[in-house]
């Protein structure tokens, strides 16, 4: 697992209060991990803070799963 | 109008988490005051507060994880967590768990707060200044709003009746209980969870209330003696935190399900001072008219009151003005009246005060005991009224009046009476 994936999963576990084994690449924040739309906004903010990037709203809307977040950050973080 | 009774009680106070632990510690004459140690107080005029004892939940400590998941706690200010804890306790005590649609829509929530999420607003204002607008959480606003106590409680328990909140400074809790009782009396709901919650303790509130010259400043080295209503050395109130909730219920509804009935809400009065933003009217006229309105609604006379749970915050002005108003109300009956301020023990819970004091009033009826005014070593004025200095007083208590007065000159009085079996 990449360093970015590990950091993403740690943030998801902390913010959504879910068990680590549930946080798979395919896990959807809303459908599988109990997040609501506000949780999604906060998760994106946490990714921005952790990786020092700005995630525009239209990009944020495409980040629905753990894997979406990892691939976006792999492409866009320094 | 329909009769309204109290069937459930719940609280989190500086003396502990729960009604029984708080009440037994009040009767032991204990104080919840101390020197805050989670933030800097050395440059503050008032270095005393009544904080909730936190721990693993044993020995009366408050463990927030027992009431709300940690990930949810992170999104809200503490007053919301306290209100959820107090409401859970009250509903469990009442044995009321609405599961049918009909029961859900006839059960409402009315919990207020004086200030709401002051600490969260402070933190987020600093975050905005330091890191800019993109760092503000989507939970900032819903975690601070006063009516989100009622929101969280309704969501957690599926309560779909009237959902409301009161904001009347230090009268909030009493107004919430009184207004909720009226909603039941008028038929808008059969059951209401009502109360108040507050979590103000921090540098911003201590500095702000001290600037109003409202807080005690002379007992920083001896915190447990700082809250001393009616005593000649009193010099301001001691800020507290917590929540109180009651379950109010239409009398026939409670009887039909065999609920335990603590007392009936027979009177509720309100008035405005129309005088000053922070100081009470010197002639006590607002307080007097408020109590009078509550007695009129109850259909009883002053001599029917056995015990008064006073507003009695330990401020130099307020205590004597209230005492004067009560003396005027009682007239010749003052000599047989008993009145005390439980703020001597738990401090001033601001928007939660009227709610926890409504509960103490109900418990005074249940146990036939008037809780003490601790630290009352030397009363500042002579009075025929027994102020219950230091030790509780066992006596027949069937009818209790509870007073709350708030900034802005907003007053509320509640009257509770024992219900004959």
**Domain chopping of chain A, boundaries:** 1-76
Candidate list B17, B50, B149, B170, residue with the active-site label: B170
Chain B (27-86) residues lying within 8 Å, Cβ to Cβ, of chain A: 69-71
Give me the pLDDT at residue A1, please.
62
Q: Helices (DSSP H) in B242-395: which residue ranges?
A: 251-256, 285-298, 316-330, 343-346, 353-367
**CATH architecture of the region A1-76:** Orthogonal Bundle (1.10)
Q: Which of B69, B70, B138 faces A42 most closely, judged by CB atoms?
A: B138
Burial call B67-94: b when 16+ CB within 10 Å, e when fewer: bbeeebbebbbbbbbbbbbbbbbbbebb
Reported as a single tens digit per residue, the pLDDT across B258-283 is 999 999 999 999 999 999 999 999 99
- Kindly tell me the burial class for residue B199, based on how many C-beta atoms sit within 10 Å of its own C-beta (0-12, 13-18, 19 or more): buried
Q: Which of B71, B137, B139 faces A16 most closely, judged by CB atoms?
A: B71
Q: CA-to-CA distance for B369 and B158, rounded, in angstroms?
A: 36
Q: How close is the nearest chain A Cα to the Cα of B353, in Å?
A: 33
- Kindly tell me the burial class for residue A61, based on how many C-beta atoms sit within 10 Å of its own C-beta (0-12, 13-18, 19 or more): exposed
Give me the pLDDT at residue B359, please.
98
Give me the pLDDT at residue A77, please.
81
Q: Is A36 in the active site?
A: yes
Candidate list A36, A39, A57, A58, residue with the active-site label: A36
Low-confidence ranges of chain B (pLDDT < 70): none
Give me the pLDDT at residue B202, please.
97
User: What are the tokens at A40?
Assistant: 């999604």
Please report residues of B whose CB lies closer than 8 A to that of A54. 134
Give me the pLDDT at residue A78, please.
65
Largest Cα separation within chain B, whole Å, is: 65
Reported as a single tens digit per residue, the pLDDT across A18-52 is 999 999 999 999 999 999 999 999 999 999 999 99
Give me the pLDDT at residue B420, please.
86
Q: How close is the nearest chain B Cα to the Cα of A26, in Å?
A: 22
Judge: A17–B69 Cβ closer than 8 Å, yes or no.
yes
Residue of B68, B138, B140, B148 to mutate, interface with A, max A Cβ within 10 Å: B138
What are the phi and psi torsion angles at B95 (to 5°)? Answer: 65, 30
Q: Could you write out the DSSP letters of every residue in B45-57?
A: S---EEPPPBSSS
DSSP state for residue B371 in the 8-state scheme:
P
- CA dihedral B23→B27→B28→B34, nearest 10 degrees, is 60
* List of domains in chain B: 4-263 (3.40.47.10), 268-418 (3.40.47.10)
Give me the pLDDT at residue B83, please.
98
Residues 6+ apart with CB under 8 A from B368: B394, B395, B396, B397
ipTM strictly over 0.85?
Answer: yes
Give me the pLDDT at residue A2, please.
81
CA neighbor of B402 nearest in space, from B378, B371, B377: B371
Judge: B137–A45 Cβ closer than 8 Å, yes or no.
yes
- How many contacts (CB atoms, under 8 Å) link A and B? 18
């Amino acid at each position: 697992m990449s360093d970015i994936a590990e950091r993403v999963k740690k943030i998801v576990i902390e913010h959504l209060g879910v068990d680590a084994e549930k946080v798979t690449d395919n896990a959807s924040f809303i459908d599988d991990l109990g997040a609501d739309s506000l949780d999604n906004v906060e998760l994106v903010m946490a990714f921005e803070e952790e990786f020092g990037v700005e995630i525009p709203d239209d990009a944020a809307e495409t980040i629905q799963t753990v894997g979406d977040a990892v691939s976006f950050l792999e492409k866009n973080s320094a | 109008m329909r009769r309204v009774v109290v069937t459930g009680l719940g609280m989190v106070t500086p003396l502990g988490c729960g009604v029984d632990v708080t009440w037994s510690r009040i009767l032991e004459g204990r104080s919840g005051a101390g020197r805050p140690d989670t933030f800097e107080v050395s440059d503050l005029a008032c270095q005393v507060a009544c904080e909730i004892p936190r721990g693993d939940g044993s020995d009366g400590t408050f463990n927030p994880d027992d009431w709300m998941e940690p990930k949810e706690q992170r999104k809200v200010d503490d007053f919301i967590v306290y209100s959820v804890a107090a409401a859970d306790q009250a509903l469990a005590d009442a044995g009321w768990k609405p599961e049918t649609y009909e029961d859900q829509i006839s059960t409402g929530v009315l919990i207020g707060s004086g200030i709401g999420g002051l600490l969260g607003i402070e933190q987020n204002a600093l975050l905005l200044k330091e890191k800019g607008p993109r760092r503000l959480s989507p939970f900032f606003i819903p975690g601070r709003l006063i009516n989100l106590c009622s929101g969280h409680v309704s969501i957690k328990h599926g309560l779909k009746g009237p959902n409301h909140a009161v904001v009347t400074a230090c009268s909030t809790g009493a107004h919430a209980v009184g207004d909720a009782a009226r909603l039941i009396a008028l038929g808008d709901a059969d059951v209401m969870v009502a109360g108040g919650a507050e979590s103000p303790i921090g540098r911003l509130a201590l500095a702000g209330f001290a600037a109003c010259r409202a807080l005690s400043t002379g007992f920083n080295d001896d915190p447990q003696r700082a809250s001393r209503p009616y005593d000649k050395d009193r010099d301001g109130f001691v800020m507290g935190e917590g929540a109180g909730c009651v379950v109010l219920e239409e009398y026939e509804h409670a009887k039909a399900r065999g609920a335990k009935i603590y007392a009936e809400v027979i009177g509720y009065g309100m008035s405005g001072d129309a005088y000053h933003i922070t100081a009470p009217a010197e002639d006590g006229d607002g307080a007097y008219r408020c109590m009078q309105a509550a007695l009129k609604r109850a259909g009883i006379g002053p001599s029917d009151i056995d015990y008064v749970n006073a507003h009695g915050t330990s401020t130099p002005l307020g205590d004597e003005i209230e005492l004067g108003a009560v003396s005027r109300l009682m007239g010749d009956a003052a000599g047989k009246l008993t009145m005390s301020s439980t703020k001597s023990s738990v401090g001033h819970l601001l928007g939660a005060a009227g709610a926890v004091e409504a509960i103490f009033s109900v418990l005074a009826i249940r146990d036939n005991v008037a809780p003490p005014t601790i630290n009352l070593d030397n009363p500042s004025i002579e009075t025929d009224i027994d102020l219950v200095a230091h030790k509780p007083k066992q006596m027949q208590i069937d009818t209790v009046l509870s007073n709350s007065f708030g900034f802005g000159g907003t007053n509320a009085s509640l009257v509770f009476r024992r219900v004959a079996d």
